[in-house]
Amino acid sequence: MKRWMSVLRTPVGLTATVLSIGVLVLAVVAPLLWTDNADAIDTDDILAGPSAQHWAGTDNLGRDIFYRTLVATRLSVELALAATVIAVVVGLLIGTAPYLLGRRPGRVVLAGTNIAVAFPGILLALFFAVIFGVGAKGAVLAIGFAGAPTFGRLTQTLVAGISSRDFVAAAHVAGVPRLRILFRHVLPNVSEPLVVNATIGAGAALLSFAGLSFLGLGVQQPAYDWGRLLFDGIGSIYVNPAAALAPGIAVLVAGLAFNLFGESVAKGLGVGVVGGIPALPPSPEALEADAPAAEQAHGSGTDLVLDVRDLEVAFPGPTGPIRPVRGVSFSVRRGEALGIVGESGSGKSLTALAVSRLVEAPGRVDAARLDLLGSDLRVEETKAQRRLLGTSLAMVFQDPMTSFNPTRRMGGQLAEGARHHQGLDRASALARAVDRMRAVRISEPERRAHQYPHEFSGGMRQRAMIGMGLMGSPALIVADEPTTALDVTVQQQVLDLLAAIRAAEDVALVLISHDVTVVGEVCDRVLVMYAGKIVEDLPAADLAATARHPYTRALVAAVPDMDTDLDAPLAVIPGRPVDPADVPAGCAFAARCPLATARCHAEEPPLEADGTGRRVACWHAGEPIDLEVDGSLLGRDEREEVEAR
């Protein structure tokens, strides 16, 4: 309902709604008020032009054309709506038939619909007009049936999309009959696009009616709709142009109203939040001086590949900016592998995107420092900077299928960047692509370079993605959940590959994952993120034994490994992750923390470095936790989740 209301907030949506309502009101009211005026015959004043008495002149019986146009609204709209109802009902029947009938009969219906859709609509309408006879009834049926195949095909596509979802399968397994599934699960979930298309269809039907009546195939005397008036008016267009213009304008306005209403509803429903969100003001933090020098613990500065200070990512929200990343500082040295772990929503992926300058408007990135190989990434994007990002930074995403263009050969896609950034010609760029594919251990790279992405397996695509990053000479590879979509065996190969590249080319690696075991295996150092902040920064080797933040320790304990005690329940982290739109005061983890005290809820602990270069943000870092792992913990977890809401 809320989203439907948002349609009204756009200027076009508001105009279209007002126009549509106006047309409908006119359709109801006009015949009640003005039928007498419209039917009054005045033989003294036939075929007159516009005058104060007759705004649009009179017809060949001296009847007032302006009033006739107003009164014709009802018949025109009625006929259009009747045709739309026929189109929608028949369309729904043929649209849901394939789902109800099963595979083989369904295919016949599909084929039939496809042929009907390919058939020109106006020809279909003429054909029906001949069968059903000339007149309003024939025209309604003709336009209704002509619109049905398109609507049916849309329904088929939408139904097919929903019926492949798991909740339909689940209802099926639960023994719910097909017809019931259709009405309870499938149709409600496709109703929005169908309603939108029916509205647009009504506009189209209105225009088609005007067309048919104008051709003399629609409404017959003495009844009249806009098309009929147009037909009558066109004969005397040189005498009185207004006689044709008045019904013409009526058709135009009503048709536009329905079409625009449908379009703006479609847009409003598709976009989610429309308008009303203020732009972000410049952040004061960004203008402040550099971070304290105490945080310069890592590295000398010369071998730093990436240096990030007070990174913040903000998105505009309905009640003020939402900040999923809230002041993150870290640096990566040449050849170092840094892991970033956290739950979904912890801001780890956005941190990576901000570093690669991939956060798009309306999101905004602020930082006291954001240096890649000593060059400032915060300044306006320049050609040199794009080149630096294009050749020195490689990005590997979670889903290798969506990272490639499915219609282009792999070799060409790999070569593209090199031609662009390194100025290589076509042949040498392709040669480099083949060489890089070999480097990431893709077998028969010459043949593979000519294949399309769908011919690659998931693991091979992910390796090709890494190979694409290696086309330049990257100093940094940022890999965001690179193995989450892959099988364990393939995951291992990809992790091995990343490790090998790092060793061979002295490349720094930032590996982002929700799986603490993956990060622990590949990385030297691990940043643990919670609610947009780093809560602990420690060597990967220390993860299992000497992590000090209660969140880190809980993350490690929650994952079963091959040595987990089978008789005890797994440790769980009670509660749910913090919503970035609603970050509590004090330590964000306090609500889920077994060590939390009053201080934690009131005061946010700073991220403090100890003598060994490890950093932790916790008032109770390293205090022993009584890992209570009996069944009762689950019950408590649930109660807390309810309370938290």
Partner 1 sequence: MSELRFEGVTVRYGATTAVDDVSLVVPPGSVVGLVGESGSGKSTLARAAVGLAPVCAGLITVGGAPVPSRGRRPLQMVFQDPYSSLDPRMSIGESVAEAMPRGAGRAERRAEVARLLELVHLDPTRAAARPAELSGGQRQRVALARALAGRPQVVIADEITSALDVSIQGAVLNLVRELQRELGLSILFISHNLAVVRYVATHVAVMRDGRIVEEGATDRVLAAPDHDYTRELLAAVPGLSTPTRSPR
Q: Nearer to partner 1 by C-beta: 12 or 559?
A: 559
Per rule CB under 8 A, is residue 573 in the interface with partner 1? yes
Among 285, 455, 487, 628, binds partner 1 (CB under 8 A): 487
**Residues 585-644 within binding reach of partner 1 (CB under 8 A):** 631, 634-635, 637-639, 641-642
Q: Please state, in angstroms and rounded to a whole number, the distance separating the CA atoms of residues 241 and 235.
A: 10
Q: Please state, in angstroms and rounded to a whole number, the distance separating the CA atoms of residues 579 and 531.
A: 8
Contact 450, 389 (CB under 8 A): no
Among 9, 107, 165, 408, binds partner 1 (CB under 8 A): 165
Contact 513, 338 (CB under 8 A): no
Shortest distance, CB of residue 582 to partner 1, whole angstroms?
A: 14
Here's the x/- map for partner 1, 342-361, by CB under 8 A: it reads as -xx-----------------
Q: Nearer to partner 1 by C-beta: 178 or 438?
A: 178
Among 3, 334, 576, 601, binds partner 1 (CB under 8 A): 576
Q: Nearer to partner 1 by C-beta: 89 or 541?
A: 541
Contact 579, 345 (CB under 8 A): yes
Contact 624, 630 (CB under 8 A): no
Among 176, 252, 297, 358, binds partner 1 (CB under 8 A): 176
Per rule CB under 8 A, is residue 175 in the interface with partner 1? yes
Per rule CB under 8 A, is residue 184 in the interface with partner 1? yes
Residue 514's φ and ψ, nearest 5 degrees, are -90, -10
**Residues 424-483 within binding reach of partner 1 (CB under 8 A):** 458
Bridge partner residues of 274 (DSSP): none
Q: Nearer to partner 1 by C-beta: 259 or 483?
A: 483
Q: Stretches 129-137, 363-371, 509-517, 603-611: which one binds partner 1 (CB under 8 A)?
A: 509-517
Q: Stretches 40-48, 152-160, 165-173, 324-332: which one binds partner 1 (CB under 8 A)?
A: 165-173
**Residues 195-234 within binding reach of partner 1 (CB under 8 A):** none
Shortest distance, CB of residue 515 to partner 1, whole angstroms?
A: 6
Please name the residue that has the structure tokens 């005498």: 239
Per rule CB under 8 A, is residue 318 in the interface with partner 1? no
**Residues 388-407 within binding reach of partner 1 (CB under 8 A):** none
Helix/strand/coil percent split, the chain, to 5: 55, 10, 35
Q: Nearer to partner 1 by C-beta: 184 or 450?
A: 184
H helix and E strand count, the chain? 24, 13
**Token output for 73:** 């609204």
Q: Please state, in angstroms and rounded to a whole number, the distance separating the CA atoms of residues 488 and 630.
A: 30
Contact 617, 606 (CB under 8 A): yes
Per rule CB under 8 A, is residue 545 in the interface with partner 1? no
> Using a CB cutoff of 8 Å and minimum separation of 24, what contacts does 457-461 make?
457/490, 458/400, 458/401, 458/485, 458/486, 458/487, 458/490, 459/486, 459/487, 459/490, 459/493, 459/494, 461/400, 461/401, 461/403, 461/404
Q: Stretches 358-366, 447-455, 490-498, 619-627: which one binds partner 1 (CB under 8 A)?
A: 490-498
Q: Please state, in angstroms and rounded to a whole number, the distance separating the CA atoms of residues 87 and 378.
A: 56
Shortest distance, CB of residue 644 to partner 1, whole angstroms?
A: 11
What ranges in 102-225 are assigned the alpha helix state H? 103-118, 121-132, 136-163, 166-173, 178-181, 187-214
Per rule CB under 8 A, is residue 500 in the interface with partner 1? no
Pairing mode, strands 369-372 and 304-315: antiparallel
Shortest distance, CB of residue 168 to partner 1, whole angstroms?
A: 8
Among 558, 585, 602, 627, binds partner 1 (CB under 8 A): 558
What is the total count of residues that contact partner 1 (CB under 8 A)?
56
Q: Nearer to partner 1 by C-beta: 561 or 626?
A: 561
Shortest distance, CB of residue 497 to partner 1, whole angstroms?
A: 13
Q: Stretches 61-69, 86-94, 220-228, 517-525: which one binds partner 1 (CB under 8 A)?
A: 517-525
Sort residue 612 into left (φ over 0), alpha (ψ -120 to 50) or beta: alpha
Per rule CB under 8 A, is residue 492 in the interface with partner 1? yes
Shortest distance, CB of residue 573 to partner 1, whole angstroms?
A: 5
Per rule CB under 8 A, is residue 240 in the interface with partner 1? no
- What is the length of the chain? 645
**Token output for 284:** 């004061």
Contact 420, 409 (CB under 8 A): no
Q: Which of 324, 497, 520 is nearest to 396 (CA)?
A: 497
Shortest distance, CB of residue 176 to partner 1, whole angstroms?
A: 6
What is the 8-class DSSP label of residue 465?
Answer: H
Sort residue 266 into left (φ over 0), alpha (ψ -120 to 50) or beta: alpha
What is the 8-class DSSP label of residue 14?
Answer: H
Shortest distance, CB of residue 521 to partner 1, whole angstroms?
A: 5
Which residues lie closer than 8 Å to 376 by C-beta, 6 or more apart?
369, 370
Positive/negative CA dihedral, 372, 400, 413, 468:
positive
Among 566, 582, 611, 624, binds partner 1 (CB under 8 A): 566
Q: Stretches 142-150, 407-415, 512-520, 618-626: which one binds partner 1 (CB under 8 A)?
A: 512-520
Note the residues at the interface with partner 1 (CB under 8 A): 165-167, 169-176, 184-185, 188-189, 343-344, 458, 487-492, 495, 514-518, 520-521, 554-555, 558-562, 564, 566, 569-573, 576-577, 631, 634-635, 637-639, 641-642
